[in-house]
Structure 1
Amino acid sequence: MIKRTISISIIALVLSVPALASGDDGQPNDILRKMEEVNAQYTELLDKMDSIERQRRQLELLMYQIDDLDQYRGGMNVEDAPPEAIEVATERKQELEAQTQAMPELPRVSNAVGGVLTPKGRLTIEPSMGFSYSSVNRIAVEGFTILPALLVGIIDVVEADRDSYTARLTGRYGITDRFEAELSVPWIYRDDATRSREFLTGAVEDKVFKAQGQGIGDVELGLRYQFRRSSPTAPFLVGNLRIKSDTGSDPFEIASMSTLAGQPQFSTELPTGSGFWSVNPSLTFIYPSDPVVFFGSIGYLWTIEDDKGTSVDDEGNILGFGRVDPGDAYRASFGLGLGLNENSSFSISYQLDQFTRTRIETAADPSIAGSDVTVGKLLIGYSLRMNDGPPLNLAVGIGTTDDAPDTDLTFRVPFNFGD
C-alpha cells in the first residue's frame, strides 16, 4: 500500500514537469535535478521497504513457531481475551507443565511398581539375587469315624520346608521416553525337605523326602508405557504388559514317588518353571505429594491352559492329566514411598493376588477343591546410591496369608549404558 502511494505521487510529479517547464523556461534543469533526487530517494525507500518486508516474514515465521509457547505464557492481555481463550490457554499451560514433570523414582520392589521408565536410547542391565522361604504343614486323614471322637484309619502329618534361590538378569531398553521393553532371564535353584509320619499305626520314625531342582526358569518379556498427564495434579499412569514363557522345566513332566496315607505324590526332582504361558496386563498409578509418593496397581493374570498328556510315577503307572487350566488371578497393590535425602529412599506396600480354581480335564471333579488361593504380601523397599555409583535396591517381602511364602528377599543393582 505504501509503495502504491509513493508510485502515484512520482507519476503525478512527472506529469507536471511539462507544465512547470512551460511556465518557467529559466529553470528546467532545476526541475530535472529535483526529479532525480526524488527518484533516488524513492529507490532508497523501496530498498528499505524490501528489507522491512523480509524481516516481517521472518518475524511471522517465528511467531508461528512459538504460537503454543505464546498461549502457554498468556500472550494476550487477560482483560482483552475472551473467556474461552483464557480457558484454552490455561488448559494448554497445565498440559505443558504436566509433561515437563518427571515421574518420581521409587525403590523397584516388583515388576509393576518402582523405578522410572528408561530414557530413549538407554540400555539398563540389572542383575538381581532373590531368596524365598516357606513352611507348610498338612494333615491327611484316610479312614472313618465311629463316634465324633473316635477315628479308625490313618493320619498322615506332613511338614514341608521349601527354599528357593533365584539369580536373574534383566535388560531394559528405552524405545522412546515413554515406552520401554524388558527381557528377564532367571536361573533357579530349589531345595525341598518334606517330613511325614503316620499316626495311629505305631510308627515312631519320620519319613523324610528331599528333592532339588535347578536350571533356567520361565523367561519373561515386559512392556511399559507412560500415558500423558492432562494436568499437573493428575497422577502418573503407566501401562504394563508382561508375558511369561514356559522355558523352565515342566512339573507335569517330572517323575514322582508315593508317601504314606492316601498315596500322595512327591516329585523326585523339583521343576524350575510353571509349565504354562501367561499374560499379565496391569495399570500402575503414581501420585507425588511432596515429600511422599503414593502408588498402586491393578492387574489380571491370565494363565493359558495346556494339554499336559501323561506323567509316570515311580512304579511305572501312567497318570493322565489331559488339558489343565491352572487358574487365573486378580491382582492389586498399593503403597507409598518417601525420599529420605538425595541418595536414599524408602517404600512400603501391600500386594494381594486372588487365584481362581485349577481345572484338570481327567479328574473326577474337574474343578479342584482348595486350589483357589489368596496370596498376600507386605513389601518393604530400600534404595541407596553411594557417590556416583548405581543405586542399590533391596526389597523384603513378608507373607500375610497361609498360601504366601513366609518371607522373600531380593537385591537389585541396575547399570545404565548409553544416553
Structure 2
Amino acid sequence: MHRSPAWRLSCAGLSAALVVSASQAQVAAPPQALTAQLEKLRAQLDEQRVLIERLSAELEQVRGAGEEALAQERGAGQAGTGTGAAPASAQVPAAQESRSAPPPARPAVAQKDQPVGQPPRKDTRPPEVAPLFEQPGILTQQGKYILEPSLQYGYASNNRVALVGYTIIPALLIGLIDVREVKRNTMTGSLALRTGVSNRTEVEIRAPYVYRSDSTVSRELFTGTALERVFATSGRGLGDIEIAARHQLNDGGADKAYYLAGWRFKSRTGRDPFEVVTDCQTRCLGQNATGTGLPLDLPTGSGFYSMQPSVTWLFPSDPAIFFGTVSYTHNFKRADVSRTVLNGEKERLGKLAPGGVVGFNFGMGLALNDKASVSIGYDHSSVGRMKQNGLTVPGSVRTQLGTLLVAYSYRLSDKRSLNVSVGAGVTRDTPDVSLTVRLPTTF
C-alpha cells in the first residue's frame, strides 16, 4: 500500500514520542511499570496507524471523485483545454494535501480517449418522409421559415344515365333517357408559408389559385336527334385561404411513436357555387327545370367555412417509418342562401348544412439513401349527407372517397427539396388521377 508523506511524518512523530516516553519511564519507574507503559504506548500507536490508514483511504476516494468530476466537465466543454477549475468537492482535499506534498504534474496533452467538446444534442423531432398528404410529418424548427410553392392537377370523369318514364316490360322503356359524360380538369397552384413558433409548434398559411374546366357530353334519346351536345365551362380565381397549426405532443425515438396534434381552418375567400349563374330559365328544382342545370362559370371555393382537428402518429422502425392520421372536418352551415339563375333571378335555398367529413390515412416511408426517399399510402374520406332547412336533401347520400398515393422526395440541397406524389382513385366518386409537385425551401 502506498503511504502518503503525512502518514510517514505522523508515524515518525509517534515513534519519537514513544522513545522519549520510554526513556523517561526507565529512569523514574521500576521495570514492571516500564513494561506496562510500553504496552500502553504500543496500543496507542496501533490505534493511530488504523486511523491514518482510514484517512488515507478516504482521501483516495475523494481524489478519485474529483478526477471523475473534472473529466466530466472537460467532456462537456467546460475544461476542454485542460485549464478549467476543478469542482469544489475536489479542491478541499487537494488544498489539504498540498501542505505536505507538492501537487502532481498535470499532463500537457489530453489523452486520445478523453471526450473533448460538447456532444451533439439529441434531435427529438419526428423523422422526415416523402409527403403524401397536405399535412407534413416533420415540424419546422424555431426561427426557421419554409416557403412551399406547389402545383396540383386532378382529372375526373363520370358517366350518368337518367331514366324518366315508365316500363312496360323490363326491356322496354317509355320516356326520356338522358346520358351524360362529365370530364373535369382541375389545376391548383398554391403558396404555403410555415414557421416554427417553438421546437415543437409550427403555424402555416396557404393561399391557392384554382383553374377549373368541365366538359359535359350529353345525348337525349327520343327527342328527335342523335347528335351529342357538349357543354363546356370553366372558372379561375383565388381559392379558399387556409391557416393551420401543428404541435408535437411527445418525445419519440427508436421503436417509440411520435404524436402530432393538428388544427386547420378553411375560409371562403374563393368564389362559391351560389355566386355563379346557373343555366336554368326560372328554377332548377323539381320538375320545372328548363336548361342544363349546370353553372355557366365554375366556382373556385366550397362556399362554407370549415374546421379540421387531426392527430398524426409516426413510428420509426429502421429502415422504414410508419405513419397515419385521423381527422374530422366540420363544415359550418349557412342561412339565407340563394343562387342566381338566368335573367338575373334569385332562387332561394334557405339554410344549408353540409355533412361532416371523417377522414383517415396511413402509409409507410422508406429512405433509399441520404437524399432520396419514397412513400406509399392510402387516404380515405367519408362525406356526410347535406341538409336543407333541417331536412336531408333528396338524392343526397354519404360519399366515400378513397385514393392510393405514391410519393417521391429528393433533397436538392441543404435548404431545398423536390417532392412528387401521384394519386389514383379507388372509388367511383374519387378523381381518377391526381399529380402534385412541391418545392419546399428553407430560409
Question: Normalization by structure 2: what TM-score?
Answer: 0.69
1:120 maps to 2:142: yes
Q: 1:317 deviation in Å?
A: 4.6
1:134 maps to 2:153: no
Cα distance in 1 for partners of 2:244, 2:122 equals 24
Q: 1:111 deviation in Å?
A: 1.8
Deviations, residues 55-102 of structure 1 (Å, cap 9, x unaligned): xxxx9xx99xx9xx9xxxxxxxxxxxxxxxxxxxxxxxxxxx997443
User: Which residue number in structure 2 is paired with residue 283 of structure 1?
Assistant: 311
Q: Which amino acid counterpart does residue 379 of structure 2 have in structure 1? A: Q
> Is the deviation greater in 260-269 or in 170-179?
260-269
The answer on whether the counterparts of 2:146 and 2:193 sit within 8 Å (CA) in structure 1 is yes
Q: 1:324 deviation in Å?
A: 0.7
User: Which residue number in structure 2 is paired with residue 381 of structure 1?
Assistant: 407
Cα distance in 1 for partners of 2:387, 2:372 equals 46
User: Which residue number in structure 2 is paired with residue 42 of structure 1?
Assistant: none
Cα distance in 1 for partners of 2:412, 2:277 equals 48
Aligned pair partner of 1:168 in 187, 190, 197: 190
User: Which residue number in structure 2 is paired with residue 408 of structure 1?
Assistant: 434
Aligned pair partner of 1:320 in 348, 366, 378: 348
Cα distance in 1 for partners of 2:356, 2:304 equals 11
Q: Which amino acid counterpart does residue 321 of structure 1 have in structure 2? A: L
4+ long deviations beyond 6 Å: 259-262
Q: 1:370 deviation in Å?
A: 3.6
Q: Which amino acid counterpart does residue 369 of structure 1 have in structure 2? A: G
Aligned pair partner of 2:235 in 210, 213, 227: 213
User: Which residue number in structure 1 is paired with residue 213 of structure 2?
Assistant: 191
Cα distance in 2 for partners of 1:109, 1:308 equals 38
Deviations, residues 330-357 of structure 1 (Å, cap 9, x unaligned): 1010110000000000000000000110
User: Which residue number in structure 1 is paired with residue 83 of structure 2?
Assistant: none
Q: Which amino acid counterpart does residue 141 of structure 1 have in structure 2? A: L
Cα distance in 2 for partners of 1:231, 1:316 equals 62
Cα distance in 2 for partners of 1:155, 1:100 equals 64
Cα distance in 2 for partners of 1:181, 1:161 equals 36
Larger Rg: 2
Unmatched segments (≥5 aa) in structure 1? 1-58, 70-96
Deviations, residues 97-150 of structure 1 (Å, cap 9, x unaligned): 9974431101122123x4410000111111111111000111112212222222
Distance 1:197 1:250, change over 3 A: same
Q: 1:361 deviation in Å?
A: 2.0
Q: Which amino acid counterpart does residue 271 of structure 2 have in structure 1? A: S
Cα distance in 2 for partners of 1:132, 1:399 equals 10
Q: Secondary structure at the match of 2:294?
A: strand
Q: Secondary structure at the match of 1:265?
A: coil
The 5 Å alignment of 1:137-286 reads 137-229=159-251, 232-258=254-280, 263=290, 264-286=292-314
Q: 1:157 deviation in Å?
A: 0.5
The answer on whether the counterparts of 2:422 and 2:434 sit within 8 Å (CA) in structure 1 is yes
Q: 1:204 deviation in Å?
A: 1.3
User: Which residue number in structure 2 is paired with residue 102 of structure 1?
Assistant: 125
The 5 Å alignment of 1:361-372 reads 361=389, 366-372=392-398
Cα distance in 1 for partners of 2:393, 2:420 equals 39
Question: Normalization by structure 1: what TM-score?
Answer: 0.73
The answer on whether the counterparts of 1:358 and 1:368 sit within 8 Å (CA) in structure 2 is no
Distance 1:309 1:194, change over 3 A: same
Distance 1:153 1:341, change over 3 A: same
Distance 1:282 1:368, change over 3 A: farther
User: Which residue number in structure 1 is paired with residue 134 of structure 2?
Assistant: 111
The answer on whether the counterparts of 2:144 and 2:442 sit within 8 Å (CA) in structure 1 is yes
Aligned pair partner of 1:300 in 323, 328, 337: 328
Q: 1:368 deviation in Å?
A: 3.6
User: Which residue number in structure 2 is paired with residue 333 of structure 1?
Assistant: 361
Q: Secondary structure at the match of 2:409?
A: strand
The answer on whether the counterparts of 1:98 and 1:232 sit within 8 Å (CA) in structure 2 is no
The answer on whether the counterparts of 1:104 and 1:116 sit within 8 Å (CA) in structure 2 is yes
Name the % identity: 36
Q: 1:180 deviation in Å?
A: 0.1
Q: 1:202 deviation in Å?
A: 3.0
| Structure with bigger RCO (C-alpha 8 Å, 6+ apart) | 1
The answer on whether the counterparts of 2:155 and 2:431 sit within 8 Å (CA) in structure 1 is yes
Q: 1:360 deviation in Å?
A: 1.6
The answer on whether the counterparts of 1:357 and 1:369 sit within 8 Å (CA) in structure 2 is no
Deviations, residues 26-51 of structure 1 (Å, cap 9, x unaligned): xxxxxxxxxxxxxxxxxxxxxxxxxx
Q: Secondary structure at the match of 1:163?
A: strand
* Matched residue count: 326
Q: Secondary structure at the match of 1:348?
A: strand
Distance 1:343 1:220, change over 3 A: same
Cα distance in 1 for partners of 2:252, 2:278 equals 57
Cα distance in 1 for partners of 2:266, 2:338 equals 23
> Is the deviation greater in 317-326 or in 162-171?
317-326
Considering only aligned residues, what root-mean-square deviation do their CA atoms show, in Å?
2.8
1:396 maps to 2:418: no
The answer on whether the counterparts of 1:99 and 1:228 sit within 8 Å (CA) in structure 2 is no
